[in-house]
């Protein structure tokens, strides 16, 4: 009797195990990670299956796996089984990504995992994962953002130079840019580097080789604390391994290492209110100012040119030039803007010119008032105002048969060259 009861119980236990619910789950090591970190994704099942199919891992590169682990235990007469496929992923860009569904077949039925949402942010200061090779690369490879001024004024130029430092203990074969900083609170311009040059220097007191990868000029457009996002690279690094060749020499292994320049914060000071001139339009730097007529003696209905020019070093493209004012007896046409600027590590330099066409309508002597241009000089922390001289035009009577309307302001459908203003 007892034997029959034991046999019946044994078959009931097998039957209940056979009808146990299949569980197939996907688990991520973190829901949010930096672009320079790695993500582990485990696909776990409580029954053995066939035809495992991993998702495509869009937005990531598989740097390890699939690693398979099986656990089969009996505890107090109860069987516990698990099987896990593990993948190690490196992000390829910032953004929100979905780890898709994996598939497995158990007893002819197909089971799928639920999708996982993962957010990849800008690079973090201290990545939390890595194997021995990663640690060697981390200790000997550094991407640094050097900032010329961490406490500038509004619209004052600062430079950011990105340098990749490589220790003699490792070597780098190539790299690619994974994530570029977005300078949303700055007017920015990259400086072209035609050819990369390997230089020698020091990093934290130790000898290193380095290469300048990028140079950028920034003009802050807001005051207060502003973040300069990190540049992130994927670098192929040759690091020494634990293996040796038959002669005892250490063998090297190549790994793909994600390295980032740490996020930097600058504090932008507002321009002082005390002493700010009337008509100040935001010019910051060091400038010269001049107003130049093409001639001062002409006949009525003849044209002349007046150039209003600012030249120097500063935020040349971020302010307005003073507008030329003329007496009512002079016709002034819309200015034509000319920019002759270049950008290097010293900032934006060159000139901005507004060229006005002016035509007198009748004979006489006409003064064109002086103009003033104000700017803020960060080196002296003061405002400066430059004033042009008054221009006096000597206008003779118009030549016989000339007509201003016939030459410049026709009212028919002929396209004119300038828009006309009377001031």
Which two tokens mark 274?
Answer: 């005390």
Report yes or no on 278 lying in a domain: no
pLDDT of 119? 94
On whether both 39 and 79 belong to a single domain, the answer is yes
Mean pLDDT of the residues in the chain: 84
On whether both 155 and 47 belong to a single domain, the answer is no
Report yes or no on 146 lying in a domain: yes
Residue 27: give its domain's CATH number: 2.60.40.10
Report yes or no on 71 lying in a domain: yes
pTM: 0.66
Report yes or no on 35 lying in a domain: yes
- pLDDT digits 0-9 by tens, 333-390: 999 999 999 988 888 999 999 999 999 999 999 999 999 999 999 999 999 999 999 9
On whether both 220 and 294 belong to a single domain, the answer is no
On whether both 136 and 254 belong to a single domain, the answer is yes
On whether both 367 and 405 belong to a single domain, the answer is yes
From CA 389, how far away is CA 290, in angstroms rounded? Answer: 9
Which region among 78-87, 281-290, 354-363 has the lowest average model confidence (pLDDT)?
78-87
Residue with tokens 């009797």: 1
Residue finishing a domain among 121, 144, 164: 121
pLDDT of 296? 93
Residue finishing a domain among 121, 151, 181: 121
On whether both 291 and 227 belong to a single domain, the answer is no
On whether both 197 and 236 belong to a single domain, the answer is yes
On whether both 232 and 292 belong to a single domain, the answer is no
On whether both 244 and 290 belong to a single domain, the answer is no
- In which band, very low, low, confident or very high, does the pLDDT at 254 lie, cut at 50, 70 and 90? confident
| The total number of structural domains that make up the chain | 3
From CA 180, how far away is CA 122, in angstroms rounded? Answer: 9
Report yes or no on 6 lying in a domain: no
pLDDT at 219 over 90: yes
Residue with tokens 């409580």: 46
Query: Which residues form the domain of 181?
Result: 132-268
Among the listed residues 340, 341, 356, 342, the one whose alpha carbon sits nearest the alpha carbon of residue 308: 356
Report yes or no on 160 lying in a domain: yes
pLDDT of 21? 87
Q: Half-sphere exposure of residue 247, counting CA atoms within 13 Å on the CB side?
A: 2
On whether both 115 and 137 belong to a single domain, the answer is no
Residue 395: give its domain's CATH number: 2.60.40
Residue finishing a domain among 76, 92, 121: 121
Report yes or no on 331 lying in a domain: yes
**If you average pLDDT over each of 10-14, 105-109, 117-121, which comes out highest?**
117-121
pLDDT of 406? 37
Report yes or no on 72 lying in a domain: yes
Q: Following DSSP, what letter does each residue of 252-297 receive, concatenated?
A: EEEEEEEEEPPPEEEEEBPPPSTTPPTT----BEEEEEEEEES-SE
On whether both 187 and 263 belong to a single domain, the answer is yes
Which region among 61-75, 158-172, 310-324 has the lowest average model confidence (pLDDT)?
61-75
On whether both 140 and 263 belong to a single domain, the answer is yes
Q: Following DSSP, what letter does each residue of 99-165 receive, concatenated?
A: E---EEEETTEEEEPPPEEEEEESPPSS-----HHHHHHHHHEEEEEEES-SSPBTT--EEEEEEEE
β-pairing, 391-396 with 297-299? parallel
């Amino acid at each position: 009797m007892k034997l029959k009861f034991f046999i019946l119980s044994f078959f009931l236990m097998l039957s209940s195990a056979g009808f146990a619910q299949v569980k197939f789950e996907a688990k991520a090591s973190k829901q949010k990670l930096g672009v320079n970190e790695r993500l582990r994704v485990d696909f776990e099942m409580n029954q053995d299956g066939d035809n495992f199919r991993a998702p495509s891992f869009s937005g990531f590169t598989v740097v390890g796996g699939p690693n398979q682990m099986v656990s089969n235990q009996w505890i107090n007469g109860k069987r516990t089984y698990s099987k896990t496929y593990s993948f190690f992923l490196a992000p390829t860009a910032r953004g929100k990504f979905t780890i898709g569904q994996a598939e497995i077949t158990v007893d002819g039925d197909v089971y799928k995992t639920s999708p996982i949402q993962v957010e990849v942010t800008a690079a973090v200061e201290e990545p939390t994962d890595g194997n021995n090779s990663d640690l060697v690369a981390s200790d000997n490879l550094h991407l640094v953002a050097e900032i010329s001024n961490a406490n500038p004024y509004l619209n004052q130029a600062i430079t950011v130079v990105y340098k990749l430092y490589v220790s003699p203990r490792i070597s780098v074969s190539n790299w690619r840019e994974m994530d570029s900083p977005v300078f949303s609170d700055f007017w920015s311009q990259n400086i072209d580097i035609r050819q990369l040059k390997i230089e020698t220097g020091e990093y934290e007191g130790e000898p290193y080789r380095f290469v300048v990868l990028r140079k950028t000029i920034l003009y802050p457009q807001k005051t207060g604390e502003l973040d300069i996002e990190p540049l992130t690279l994927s670098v192929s690094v040759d690091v020494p391994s634990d293996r040796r060749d038959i002669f005892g020499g250490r063998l090297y292994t190549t790994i793909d290492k994600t390295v980032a320049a740490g996020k930097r914060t600058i504090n932008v000071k507002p321009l002082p209110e005390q002493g700010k001139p009337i008509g100040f339009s935001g010019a910051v730097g060091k400038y010269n100012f001049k107003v130049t007529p093409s001639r001062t003696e002409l006949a009525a209905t003849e044209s002349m040119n007046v150039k209003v020019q600012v030249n120097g070093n500063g935020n040349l493209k971020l302010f307005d030039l003073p507008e030329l004012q003329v007496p009512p007896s002079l016709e002034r046409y819309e200015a034509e803007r000319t920019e002759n600027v270049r950008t290097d590590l010293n900032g934006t330099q060159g000139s901005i010119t507004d060229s006005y066409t002016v035509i007198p309508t009748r004979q006489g002597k006409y003064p064109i008032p002086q103009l003033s241009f104000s700017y803020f000089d960060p080196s002296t922390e003061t405002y400066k105002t430059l004033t042009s001289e008054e221009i006096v035009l000597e206008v003779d009577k118009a030549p016989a048969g000339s007509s201003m309307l016939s030459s410049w302001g026709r009212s028919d459908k002929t396209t004119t060259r300038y828009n006309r203003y009377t001031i």
